[in-house]
Chains A and B, each alone.
Chain A
Amino acid sequence: MTKIWRETGFVENDPWVIETDEVKATEEQKPLLGLDELIAKAEESNDIGLGVLIKPADDVRKLEPYLYRLEIVAVAFPAFNDGRAFSHASLLRQRLGYTNELRAIGDVLIDQVPLMLRVGIDSFSVSNATALKRLAENRLPAIPHHYQPAVRDADAGKGYSWRRQAKPAA
C-alpha cells in the first residue's frame, strides 16, 4: 500500500501517477512525466499544472524555463542509498527557486525523511510499513540541531554561522 504523506498528514485523492505499460492515468489522475517528455510537452503546448519525475541521472537544471508550469516535481530514490535526489532537491529549491510541491518517491524510509525535509522535499510517497506507522504516529527520528544551513528554513544555531536550529513545530 502506498500513501502520500505531508507534514499536515496523509493526503487523500492524490492525483499523480507514474504511467507504465500497464498503468495509465485515469480521468481524475495526472501523469508524472519523465524529464524529456515534460520538456517536449511544455514546448508543444501551453499546459500548466504539469508534473515531472526526476530520475537520479537527470539534470534538474533543465527544468528552469518550465518551473512556473509545474504543479509537482517528484524526485526518485530508486534505492534509499542513492543520494542524488538530495542534490536535485537542493538545487531546485535554492538555485532554481522552485516553490511548488516537491515529492520523494521510491525507497522512502523513515530514517531518511528528516533529511529529505531539510533539503526542501515536502511530500512523500511511502510504501514501507515501518515508515507508514511512524509517520502516522508523527514520530520522526529528527535531530533539531543542525551543523549546516539547508533549504528548509531554520533558526540560527548558537555559536557559529553555519549552525542552525530546527524551528519549533507549528
Chain B
Amino acid sequence: MYRYDEFDHAFVAERVEQFRDQVQRRLSGELAEDAFKPLRLMNGVYLQLHAYMLRIAIPYGTLSSRQLRMLAHIARTYDRGYGHFTTRQNLQFNWPKLSDMPDVLADLATVEMHAMQTSGNCIRNVTADHFAGAAADEIADPRPYAEILRQWSSVHPEFSFLPRKFKIAVTGAERDRAAIQVHDIGLHLKKNDKGEIGFAVYVGGGQGRTPMIAKLIRDFLPEQDLLSYTTAIMRVYNLHGRRDNKYKARIKILVHETGAEELARQVEVEFAALKDTELKLPEKDVEAIAAYFAPPALPERSEGWENLARWKKADPDFARWVQQNVQPHKNPDYGMVTISLKPIGGIPGDASDGQMDAIADLAEEYAFDEIRVSHEQNLILPHVALADLEAVYRGLVAINLAEANAGLITDIIACPGLDYCALANARSIPLAQEISRRFGNAERQAEIGELKIKISGCINACGHHHVGHIGLLGVEKKGAELYQITLGGSGDEHTSIGEIIGRGFEPDRVTDAIETIVDTYLGLRLDHSENFLAAYRRVGPQPFKTALYGSAAEAA
C-alpha cells in the first residue's frame, strides 16, 4: 500500500498545525462559528445530535494493521471505545471533543492518516473496489489512480469551495464493486484494443433526494490525461453547478439540466486547453505509485487445499463461513476474506477497540498486514492463505465477528440514523437489528441467498438505500417514524435505482413487510440460483405490491 514520503508527512504536519490554530482561534472566540464551520468540515469534524463526529479518511478503504491499531487507540483514548465504518470506506467516531481534535489528528499523522476533506464542499475520499489488487476478475488495480487523485485533490486551491460535495469512485474489473455509477465521477479502468490503460468516465451519478445514474461522457480516456480531464470536469462544475439551492447543487443536477452531451462538450473544450499542460501524467510517476500497490510476495501454500477440505468437513459453521465470506483470489492458494461487521442483532459497521486490535493482529499474522474497508461496512482481509483460514476464523469467532453472512439478508447496510445524526428523520440501527434477528437463522439465510438490504434514516441516503435490493428510507410523519420500501436497486455494473412500492410502514410493521417480500420472492423464483434481484428484474414490482397491499392495491 502507499507509504508517505517526506513530502506527505510534511503536508499532513502542516495541515494539523493549521487546524490546531483554527481550533484554538475558535475556542478563544477569535474565529466565529460560521467562519469556522467550513474549516472544521474540511477536517472532517461534524456536529451531530449528541456530540461532534470525526470522520477519518481511509483512502480507497486500505489500512495497515498499524493504522487499525491507532484507530483502536483513538477510540479508547478520546472516544467511547468504538468506531463506525461507513459506506464511503471511512471511519467515524461519535464522541470526540473539539478541544482534543488537534491531538487526535497529530496521533493519526504518526500513522499516515488524517481526516482531511471527509466533509465540506470539496473532493472527498476517492473510493475503490475493496477487492482491488486481489480479485481474480480484476483487469487492473484501481488504487494507484485513486491515490494519484487523492494527492492531486488535497487542498486544491481552485476546488475547495465547490457548489457541493464531490465523490469519485474507481473500479478495475467488469464487476463494479465500487458503485461508480452513483458517484459524481465514476472511473472504470480498462484496456483498449492496443492493451493501453485508460478509463471510461461517468459523470453525474448520485443518490440522495434525486437519485441518478451517471452518464458515460468519455468511452476511453488515456491514463496520462486523468488529471487534466478531471480538472476540466471540476472547473465546469465549479463554475456552473447551482449554488442557489443546496438540494440542486450536485453535478448530477448540472448534467441533468444541461444534458449529458452538452456537458461532455463543455468538458472536452476545457480539456483541450489542459491536455498538454503540466497536468499530464508521466508514465514514470504512475509506475512509481503503482509500485506501492504491488501485491505482497505470496508464498506457495498448497497444503491449504487439503487442510481446508478437512476443516470444512469437521465443522459445518466453518464451512458455511468459507462458502459465504471467502472469495476467489488471483492466486489459487489464497482467498479474500470478508469480516462481517454485522453480527446478528449487532450495530452494522461498528467495531470496538478490542475488535479492531484483534483484527489488526490477524492481519499482521495471516494477511500480509493489509485490511480493507468495503462500502458495505465490512472489513476485508484481501490476502489470506487457504491454509490459514481456519486460524483466522477462530480468531474472528473469539471476537464475535465470524458471522457467515456476507451479501446475505442480515448483511445490512445502515446509516447511523436518528440515533446519532442531526440530519436524520428516523432511526436506522434498531430496524437493522430487528431485521437481523428475525432472519438470523443460518439455514434460512442460505436459503434466501444474496439479498442486500440498505437502510437510510433520511433522504440524504448515506445508507445507499436507492441501490439496495430492498431499500428502506426512514421518514418522519406526524412526529413518528415511517419507512418507505424500495425494491430492485443495485450498485453494481448494472446500476438501477430502487422503485418505491407503496405506502410506508410503521417501525413495528417493517420486519413483517420484509418477511412478506422474502416469502413472495421464494414463492416465485425459478430456483435457488435466481437471486432476489434477478427475480425482481424478471417479474417487476406487482407481485410484491399485491403481497404487501392486497390485489386491489395502488402505489400510495
Contacts and interface: CB of A to CB of B under 8 A. Distances in A.
B161 interface: yes
B158 A144 contact: no
B273 A145 contact: no
Contacts of B11: 143, 145, 147
A90 B31 contact: no
A161 interface: yes
Given A83-B162, A141-B18, A162 B238 contact: no
Contact of B279 (A111, A145, A162): A162
A161 B282 contact: yes
Nearest to A152: B157
Contacts of B288: 159-160
A68 interface: no
A162 B152 contact: yes
Contacts of B282: 161
Given A141-B22, A147-B155, A83 B227 contact: no
B39 interface: yes
Contact of B154 (A83, A86, A130, A147): A147
Interface stretch (B2-10, B475-483, B517-525): B2-10
Nearest to A83: B161
Given A143-B18, A149-B278, A162-B227, A109 B35 contact: yes
Nearest to A118: B157
A160 B160 contact: no
Interface string B266-310: 000000010001111110010011000000000000000000000
Contacts of A83: 121, 158-162, 238
B18 A163 contact: no
A24 interface: no
Interface string A77-119: 0001111101110110001000000000000010110111011
A82 B164 CA distance: 10
Given A147-B152, A148-B152, A158-B6, A86 B161 contact: yes
B151 A130 contact: no
Contact of A160 (B38, B151, B158, B161): B151
A56 B282 CA distance: 34
A131 to B, nearest CB: 10
B152 A86 contact: no
A42 interface: no
Contact of B39 (A86, A88, A111, A116): A111
Given A145-B7, A145-B11, A84 B239 contact: yes
Taking each of A90, A111, A116, which has the highest tally of chain B beta carbons within 10 Å of its own beta carbon?
A111
B14 interface: yes
B86 to A, nearest CB: 24
Contacts of B35: 80, 109, 111
Interface string B159-179: 111100000000000000000
A159 to B, nearest CB: 5
Taking each of A82, A114, A147, A149, which has the highest tally of chain B beta carbons within 10 Å of its own beta carbon?
A147
Contact of A145 (B10, B31, B153, B280): B10
Given A83-B161, A87-B238, A157-B7, A144 B152 contact: no
B15 interface: yes
A95 B30 contact: no
A107 B243 CA distance: 16
Interface in A140-170: 141, 143-150, 157-163
Given A141-B18, A147-B152, A158 B278 contact: no
B74 to A, nearest CB: 23
Contacts of B148: 160, 162
B100 interface: no
A21 B47 CA distance: 42
B38 A81 contact: yes
A150 B238 contact: no
Contacts of B243: 56, 82, 84
A157 B14 CA distance: 15
A75 to B, nearest CB: 12
Given A81-B121, A143-B18, A162-B227, A130 B30 contact: yes
A119 B21 CA distance: 23
A82 B21 CA distance: 24
Given A111-B22, A157-B7, A143 B15 contact: yes
Contacts of B10: 145
B248 interface: no
B25 to A, nearest CB: 8
A84 B151 contact: no
Nearest to A90: B158
Contacts of B30: 130
Given A118-B157, A130-B31, A157-B7, 20 more contacts: A81-B121, A86-B160, A87-B239, A111-B22, A111-B35, A116-B157, A119-B158, A130-B25, A143-B18, A144-B14, A146-B155, A147-B156, A148-B153, A148-B157, A149-B278, A158-B5, A159-B5, A159-B288, A161-B281, A162-B279
16 contacts: A83-B161, A84-B238, A86-B160, A87-B235, A91-B235, A109-B35, A115-B155, A130-B30, A141-B22, A145-B10, A147-B11, A147-B151, A147-B155, A148-B227, A159-B7, A162-B285
Interface of A: 56, 80-84, 86-88, 90-91, 95, 109, 111-112, 114-116, 118-119, 130, 141, 143-150, 157-163
